[in-house]
Amino acid sequence: MRYSGLLLIPLMLVAFAAPPLIAQDSIPRCTTVEPMSGKVGTEIVVTGENLGKDVVAKLYLTDGKNDIEVTMLEQAATTIKTKIPASAKVGERYKLMILTKGKEPKLIEQPVRFEVEP
C-alpha cells in the first residue's frame, strides 16, 4: 500500500492550526472607575472582567514610580470595591495596577485613571 504525500499536508495543517491551550480569557481587565475622582477615604468601584478572587491577588494605585497597595473591600468577577488610601497624594492622577494569582504572578497596569481631590 502506498500513501500519497497529499494526504499528509492536510493532517499537518490541522496539527499546526490548532489553537494554543492557554487560557487567555482569564486576564484581568479594568474598564471603569467610579467616581473618576474623590478625596482620601472615598469608596471607589472598579468595573471590568476577570477581577475575581481566583484571578486577582492584589490591587495597587500607581503613578508610574510609586505603587500603593489598596485594600479590596469587596471582590467579584466584574467588580472590586476599595477606598482611596490615606497614603495617596492629593492632586495626583493614578492608574490601577493588578497583581495576578498563579504560578507566575504578573503586575498588569490598567488603562483607567482617577484623581485624588483635596
CA distance 63 to 68: 9
Q: Which domain holds residue 104?
A: 26-116
Residue 2 domain-assigned?
no
Q: If you search the block for the grid coordinates 491577588, which residue do you land on?
A: 57
Residue 91 domain-assigned?
yes
**56, three cell numbers:** 486577582
Q: Which amino acid is at 100?
A: T
pLDDT band, very low/low/confident/very high, at 3 (cuts 50, 70, 90): very low
Q: Is residue 5's pLDDT more than 80?
A: no
- pLDDT tens per residue across span 47-106: 999 999 999 999 999 999 999 999 999 999 999 999 999 999 999 999 999 999 989 999
Q: How many domains does the chain have?
A: 1
Q: What is the pLDDT of residue 18?
A: 47
Q: Identify whether the C-beta of residue 117 lies closer than 8 Å to the C-beta of residue 38.
A: yes
Residue 76, domain CATH: 2.60.40.10
pLDDT band, very low/low/confident/very high, at 24 (cuts 50, 70, 90): low
Residue 12 domain-assigned?
no
Residue 70 domain-assigned?
yes
DSSP state of 91: T
How many CA atoms, within 13 angstroms, populate the side-chain half-sphere of residue 115?
A: 4
Put simply, whether the predicted model's pTM sits higher than 0.85 gets the answer: no
